[in-house]
Amino acid sequence: MTIGIIGAGNIGQAIAKRMASAGIPASIANNRGPSSLSSIVQNLGAGITAAEIKVAAKADIVFLSVPWSAYDDAVAGLGPWGGRIVIDAMNAASVGPEGFRPAELGGRPSSQLVADRLPGARVVKAFNTLQAAALASDPHAAGGRRVLFVSGDDAPARQEVARLIDRLGFVAIDLGDFEMGRRLQQFPGGPLAGINMVQFP
Ligand SMILES: NC(=O)c1ccc[n+]([C@@H]2O[C@H](COP(=O)([O-])OP(=O)(O)OC[C@H]3O[C@@H](n4cnc5c(N)ncnc54)[C@H](OP(=O)(O)O)[C@@H]3O)[C@@H](O)[C@H]2O)c1
């Protein structure tokens, strides 16, 4: 299984760091190109390589961790997806002087809009609810395991993402379809977004 990460900022690097800690190789890409990531990948750990976006996008599981305002541009010309999984770690909001401003989604789940844009991809929403620093830190916290929420309309894809989450040391809680994700997991508004939850045995 290969992993690609599109977006190498706070969240992309947090995901890559967890992959390195779990011994799972991953490629990571940004807007400026792989040479701009050389010192960053050295600090992320073994197995993490800088790549062009189109290379990272060929992985079996592709993370999208770019600003909402940039995702349309970031995925332009990528594919075909051929049933591969795309994990939407984005939050559909922009930051302004007055705080977070939700994007206009017409009442639809943000990940459904992402899925519309990526025909043939199996889109799963996950890795969006923790702040980057919490996501980057050891998921084995205080004797328990940190929780990541999963939602999407493709149940087998959700299960596959849950298995990856388990390999990374987190606990996956499957919320169900995109609409449940919109209500519970989506930021801003979802009550589980921003919650740093730890499950104890
Ligand atoms: N920060 C958090 O705590 C947090 C928590 C949960 C979810 N999120 C969500 O995660 C996503 C990323 O947030 P972030 O804080 O990691 O952002 P960030 O630190 O600003 O990083 C954004 C990354 O996206 C890349 N990028 C921008 N436009 C691109 C394009 N057109 N094509 C390819 N790559 C592009 C940037 O590349 P360059 O470096 O080359 O500019 C950069 O690597 C957002 O949707 C955010 O809502 C963030």
The confidence band for 96, taking pLDDT boundaries of 50, 70 and 90, is confident
Residue 98 has pLDDT above 90, yes or no: no
Q: Is the CB of 67 under 6 A from ligand 1?
A: yes
pTM: 0.98
Residue of 11, 91, 95 to mutate, ligand 1, most atoms within 8 A of C-beta:
11
Residue 68 has pLDDT above 90, yes or no: yes
Helices marked H in the chain — which ranges? 10-21, 38-44, 53-56, 71-74, 110-117, 132-136, 155-167, 178-184
Backbone φ and ψ of 93, nearest 5°: -155, 160
Average pLDDT, the chain: 97
> Is there a contact between 88 and 111 (Cβ–Cβ < 8 Å)?
yes
Indicate the burial class of 109 (C-beta count within 10 angstroms; 0-12, 13-18, 19 or more): buried
CA of 157 to the centre of ligand 1 (A): 24
Give the model confidence (pLDDT) of 100-155 as tens digits: 999 999 999 999 999 999 999 999 999 999 999 999 999 999 999 999 999 999 99
Residue having the nearest C-alpha atom to atom 25 of ligand 1: 7
Residues 17-32 pLDDT 10s: 999 999 999 999 999 9
pLDDT given for residue 108 in this prediction: 98
Confidence at residue 139, expressed as pLDDT on a 0 to 100 scale: 98
Helix-, strand-, coil-residue percentages of the chain, each rounded to 5: 35, 25, 40
Nearest CA to ligand 1 atom 44: 67
For residues 75 and 56, what is the distance between their CA atoms, to the nearest angstrom?
A: 11
Ligand 1 centroid distance, CA of 11 (Å) = 7
- Mean pLDDT on 91-108: 93
Q: Is 127 helix (H, G, I), strand (E, B) or coil?
A: coil
- 3-class DSSP state of 186: coil
Percent of the chain past pLDDT 70, that is, above it, reads 100
Q: What is the mean pLDDT of residues 30-42?
A: 98
